[in-house]
Structure 1
Amino acid sequence: MEVAVLFAIFIGGLIVGIPVAITLGLSSLAYILLAGIPPVVMPQKMYAGMDVFVLLSIPGFILAGNLMNQGGITTRIIRFANSIVGWIRGGLGLTNISASMLFGGITGTAVADAASIGGVMIPGMKKAGYPADFSAAVTAASSTVGPIIPPSVPMIIVGALSGISVGQMFLAGAVPGIMMGLAMMITAYVISVRKGFPRQSWQGVGEVVRSFGGAFWALAMTFLIIYGLLSGLATPTETAVVASVYAFVVGAFIYRELPLRKLPGIIVESAVASAGILALVGFANVFGWILVSERIPQALADAVLSITDNPILVILLINILLLFVGMFMETIAALIILFVPLLSLATAVGIEPLHFATFAVLNLMIGLTTPPVGVCLFVCAGIARLPLAPVVVAIMPFLLTNITVLLLVSYIPALATWLPSLLTP
């Protein structure tokens, strides 16, 4: 009965639109009270879920991204991307995607990417003659690259859950992230040619050099993060702190677009965003503990293995499950609840943990652009001042493209494991 109440409250909360963190907390509390478990267990399990050293890197990376965004990073990256691909048919769409690939290496979160890039690109694309639904759709779709290309908040969560090196997780996401970006650029180009979207004139090599010079310090931040992790000079948490200091120096003293008076507000905004993520981690850990105590993950694994132990079919079933879950649940909550049991299932049929972790994160990133809970869809539709329906229709070609990349990464392990094996001992 307790388990039925747990799922009834959880599913009901999602249906009526209660925030996922609160839904997890309410359903977990109801189970604990009905089962006669001392309520003090709830804060204990919440704290245990949040008391992981690597999770301290999340506030650092969020602060670094906000500092760089407020310090002029967005416009410089868009200008650099536009100087390279803006002359192609549908060039602003390609610029949108390539800017997200570059910007994602700084923020690590898809929503920040969608809001920052979208705030500049969606109005600019509409003004240049692109349909509003296409402008919003391409922005939402490309924002999912952010948490794949390092640094990545979801991959930090995965590292904390599984013990997989965060540095290896970052490297494992690089090739799939680039594949996603290039595949979406091809899709955007085909759509642009078919619909006759506008193109810009070639601005010359000089503009490429000048725009690269303007974006250099921003782009160098990604290399700083990766070098710090791979060299062993810093942990992910220490690297996040260094990145925040670097972002402040670049924004305030090199770009000179980050007034000191804005610093308190940026810190508060970053703290609120970080607190939201960590609260979600805490509640999800309680929910996950309940599932484990009821042996639900084991039952799930047994059910799948009773159907097949063929790795090809198991990967397909895992992907279908995660795509479905990603339509309704926030990414971090889904990872905390499902990652460990699904990892056990994957390793039971011979799937390498790093490979599984990569396509699991990639899968749930796609969920950020699928209704009804696709956060990036809502952000971009709001910026474009459109209802959700036309944006959902316009994003379908990009969703199919991203699912194709997901299947390639799922069934070709080297796409995820080659770079980590090459660059780490």
Structure 2
Amino acid sequence: MTDGTLVTLISIGVTILFMLGTPVLLVIFYWSVLCSLVIGLPLDNTGNELLNVFKDGFALLAMPLFILTGDLINKSGIAKRLSDFAYSCLGWLRGGLAMAALGACGLFAAISGSNSATTATIGSMLHPEMTKGGYDERFAAATAAAGGTVGIIIPPSIIFIVYGFLMNLPISDLFIAGIIPGALMVLGMMAMCFVVSLMNKWGILIPLSPFRVLKTAFGAWLGFFAIGLVLWGIYTGKFSPTEAAGVTVGFGIIVGVLSYPLNKMMRVDPDTPVDEKPFYSMLTVEGFRLRDVPEVVSRSAQIAGILTPLIAVSVVMQQVLGDLGADEVIGDLLRSMGGYFPVLLMSMAIVFVSGMILESLPVTIILAPILAPIAASVGIDPIHFSVVFLVGASIGFITPPYGLNLYVASGVTGVPYFRLLRYSTMYLVSLISVWFLVALVPSLSKTLLPGGWLYGLLSGAG
């Protein structure tokens, strides 16, 4: 039996395991080890590669720290204040609460950098409120799932850290390049949300109150400060993305621990509606006790413990694919297309299809080293291509059969996975539209970088 036949049989076997519910981590590991045996790679190579991934990976240290930041921001109550602000701005529109959920996803993503954390946090907070407001529970859950896609695009972003580490690109530049595309993703989903809500007459409208907007904005000042701190530090070069992650973790712990006794002294019930809270209570957030910190760290460590081995085995898989000649096959296919736009569109198609069956981390680790050099060879800017690549990877979070965000939303809302698909498909249309816009207009990802028109404007103003 030839090596090619054995590899095909192994691939079919692990695909069956995946369809039966085997975790993707084990599926990739089984495939990598078995194919290594077939092609004669020693098993100690696998062990060495698993260790070498993080041997010099200082940049990857930001990943668990940003995950922890998201949990601290949620636990402290800052995430709730951000969602209150979004609702006060949009609640007067049809579908305002659902659009506020999407806006809150964007704001939370600007602190956490995680798609699953964004979906779980906003979904658990706002799904009950949306169903009470007359929204279809399937639409409410799908909104949280779709909103979570910006978790890896709006900086800080875990997946941008991995991409920059793999491709030796400045992570700070990648972060800045994701700001406008991430904002466009949120606006595109809001537009779709408004249309669907208007057609179904969903949502309870609240009057637009400038006082309420100002009050909730003041109440969310700690969240805005955290977002500004990260972006300012990275944009000005005051600290690296990894150092920024450490700063935000420290910020989250200090704010959470100090706010708890202050909030108790004010004797304000956290469940009191915003309109009824005294203005002075908006100075601080609910916070948490110092003894709660280990629990939050433990929960974050569980998520990091899932993602970290996935990165390692995906790197091994990428190496095995290289030895099998997969990169040459894909490379020859793309080069045969010829030209800037054919390569760009074919790369997008490959990323989209891969995102339907794999999580964004293995998609990035396996495909980026293959596609990015070919894209660069036809004149596609590496930073622009990274944004196009990762926006496509993020869309995979709501594309079946994998659709990680759909599973997360289903878990936190109780709505069965397959019942989410009807409304997630509508958001999928809006996200793909934005994806093509970002791909065909490179300036959208370069506007804030040196050479971009807005960078020049801001530098001139400074």
Give the TM-score normalised by the residue count of structure 2: 0.88
Give 2:250's aligned amino acid: V
Q: Structure 1 residues 224 and 142, CA, compared in 2 at 3 Å: closer, same or farther? A: same
Secondary structure of 1:298's aligned partner: helix
**Paired residue for 2:263?**
none
**Paired residue for 2:229?**
224
Per-residue deviation, 1:256:
4.6
**Paired residue for 2:34?**
30
Distance 2:308 2:362 in 1: 10
Q: 1:157 aligns with which of 158, 162, 168?
A: 162
**Paired residue for 1:348?**
377
| Residues 1:336 and 2:365 aligned together | yes
Distance 1:9 1:169 in 2: 37
Distance 1:108 1:278 in 2: 15
Alignment check: 8 A CA contact 1:151 1:222 kept: no
**Paired residue for 2:419?**
390
| Residues 1:195 and 2:200 aligned together | yes
4+ residue runs over 6 A deviation: none
Per-residue deviation, 1:340:
0.8
For 1:213-252, what per-residue CA distance to the aligned partner results, in whole angstroms no more than 9, with x for missing partners?
1111112212211222222222221111111001111222
Per-residue deviation, 1:341:
0.2
Number of residue equivalences: 424
**Paired residue for 2:105?**
100
Identity %: 30
**Paired residue for 1:416?**
445
Distance 1:177 1:226 in 2: 14
| Residues 1:294 and 2:298 aligned together | no
**Paired residue for 1:115?**
120
| Residues 1:311 and 2:340 aligned together | yes
**Paired residue for 1:264?**
294
Segment of structure 1 superposing worse, 68-77 or 383-392: 383-392
Per-residue deviation, 1:194:
1.2
Segment of structure 1 superposing worse, 205-214 or 30-39: 30-39
**Paired residue for 1:360?**
389
Distance 1:296 1:419 in 2: 36
Alignment check: 8 A CA contact 2:133 2:202 kept: no
Q: After superposition, where does 1:10-89 map in structure 2 within 5 Å?
A: 10-51=14-55, 52-89=57-94
Per-residue deviation, 1:387:
2.3
Give 1:24's aligned amino acid: I
Distance 1:266 1:126 in 2: 28
Q: CA RMSD, aligned part only? A: 1.6
Secondary structure of 1:26's aligned partner: helix
| Residues 1:322 and 2:326 aligned together | no
Alignment check: 8 A CA contact 1:5 1:30 kept: no
Unpaired segments of 5 or more residues in structure 2? Answer: 260-284
Q: After superposition, where does 1:231-242 map in structure 2 within 5 Å?
A: 231-242=236-247
Q: 2:142 aligns with which of 134, 137, 160?
A: 137
Alignment check: 8 A CA contact 2:255 2:287 kept: no
Per-residue deviation, 1:95:
0.8
Distance 1:420 1:14 in 2: 41
Secondary structure of 1:146's aligned partner: helix
Q: 1:399 aligns with which of 413, 416, 428?
A: 428
For 1:290-323, what per-residue CA distance to the aligned partner results, in whole angstroms no more than 9, with x for missing partners?
11223311221112222x2121122111111111
Distance 1:403 1:324 in 2: 13
**Paired residue for 2:409?**
380
Q: Structure 1 residues 284 and 6, CA, compared in 2 at 3 Å: closer, same or farther? A: farther
| Residues 1:209 and 2:214 aligned together | yes
Alignment check: 8 A CA contact 1:367 1:374 kept: yes
Per-residue deviation, 1:355:
0.6
Distance 2:299 2:412 in 1: 20
Name the structure, 1 or 2, with higher relative contact order (CA <8 Å, separation 6+): 1
Q: Which has the larger radius of gyration?
A: 2
Per-residue deviation, 1:115:
0.6
Segment of structure 1 superposing worse, 326-335 or 11-20: 11-20
Give 1:217's aligned amino acid: L
Q: Structure 1 residues 413 and 203, CA, compared in 2 at 3 Å: closer, same or farther? A: closer
Unpaired segments of 5 or more residues in structure 1? Answer: none
Distance 1:6 1:107 in 2: 37
Distance 2:371 2:17 in 1: 24
Per-residue deviation, 1:392:
0.4
Alignment check: 8 A CA contact 1:9 1:23 kept: no
Alignment check: 8 A CA contact 2:174 2:383 kept: yes
Secondary structure of 1:420's aligned partner: coil
Distance 1:298 1:50 in 2: 27
Q: 1:284 aligns with which of 292, 300, 314?
A: 314
Distance 2:333 2:10 in 1: 21
Distance 1:111 1:316 in 2: 28
Distance 2:210 2:46 in 1: 60
For 1:38-64, what per-residue CA distance to the aligned partner results, in whole angstroms no more than 9, with x for missing partners?
221111011122231100111111111
Distance 2:358 2:40 in 1: 28
Distance 1:402 1:36 in 2: 43
Per-residue deviation, 1:388:
2.3
Per-residue deviation, 1:10:
4.1
Segment of structure 1 superposing worse, 4-13 or 43-52: 4-13
Distance 2:239 2:12 in 1: 44
Alignment check: 8 A CA contact 2:7 2:38 kept: no
Give 2:292's aligned amino acid: K
